[in-house]
Amino acid sequence: MTRLARKIALMAEVEATYGGGLPASLTWPQALQVLPRTRPRHRIERMNEKRDLYRPFLGSSDEIPGPSVQVIEFEVELAASGTAGTPPPWGKLLRACGFAETVFTANRVEYTPVSEPGESLVIRYWEDGFHWISRGCRGQVSFDVTAYRIPRARFVFKGFDTIGSSSSWNGPTNPYAAWKTPLLPRSANSGNILLGCSYSGGSVSGGTAYPSKGFTLDIGNELTYDAILGGEKVVITDRQPKGEMLLELTAAQEEQWRLDMNASVETTFGWQIGSTAGQRIIFFGRRLQRQEAQGVEDVGFRRVSTQFGLVLDKDDPNDDFMRIVVS
């Protein structure tokens, strides 16, 4: 029998209780049907115990099977849901990456970081006739929002209790209806990156506008698998958000930019993709520190590439250091 590498399906659902698997009220066709934009990378990390026996012959000892962890990496396109106040399909994935989802009916959905263990997913990964199911999945996410390219989020999930068996796909009739066509960031629908701006009620305003080629942001979640007896779990044990943006600065702006960096002057950050209801995505950082800046050549022009961190407020340290808004 010929099996094809492109015949892949990903299904995920938020667990009602940690490690509880697919909620009893749902079946797999009712779960989120993930639409990856590149081929997912899937692997099983086994933690076997090697016996390492000594005998009068050279050779290897056997291993006793130990716990195993499923790791799956994939990218999805970032697009709003098409309806203001309706979560996008990738919102469920964010919720298992240390973000809380708050729905403002008929207006917007906001995602903000949390430091508690947070929600988790059960994930079914299917490859042309064979599937694995993993419970208690938590993840790490990074964003690439580059001008004139498809905005994307890259996820890495870890989960336990991997089960592999032959299986048909068994998906719904219209599995990817919730995934809308993304907008390419361009001047007409996105505009400039704003520094020193403010956020309120679903919009970013004020600040200084900088022409840019977009930005990347790695949330920096550290995933730790705990094989403790009776309490197996995957936990986000640290978070170090860092990113990079490519800007066009005047000579005077670059001078002030570097003075601000040397004086540890921090600022806010905001950027919006889309201009109409149901298509908007906003990234807002409450405290951005510019940590490294280098002049670079970009298609013959001089730009400034700046690495930054999204840091906790010194006067008001809490989880609300950033938000992603879909409206």
3-state secondary structure of 14: strand
Q: Indicate the pairing of strand 32-34 with strand 121-127.
A: unpaired
Query: What are the tens digits of pLDDT across the range 142-165?
Result: 999 999 999 999 999 999 988 799
CA atoms within 13 A on the CB side of 22: 13
User: What's the average model confidence in pLDDT over 262-279?
Assistant: 96
User: What's the average model confidence in pLDDT over 317-325?
Assistant: 87
The tokens 């048909």 sit on which residue? 168
Torsion of CA 18, 21, 25, 30, to 10 degrees: 120
Distance CA 84, CA 53 (A): 64
Closest CA to 282 of 119, 95, 75, 143: 143
Q: How many CB atoms lie within 10 A of CB 29?
A: 13
Mean pLDDT, the chain, integer: 95
> What percent of the chain lies above the pLDDT cut of 70?
100
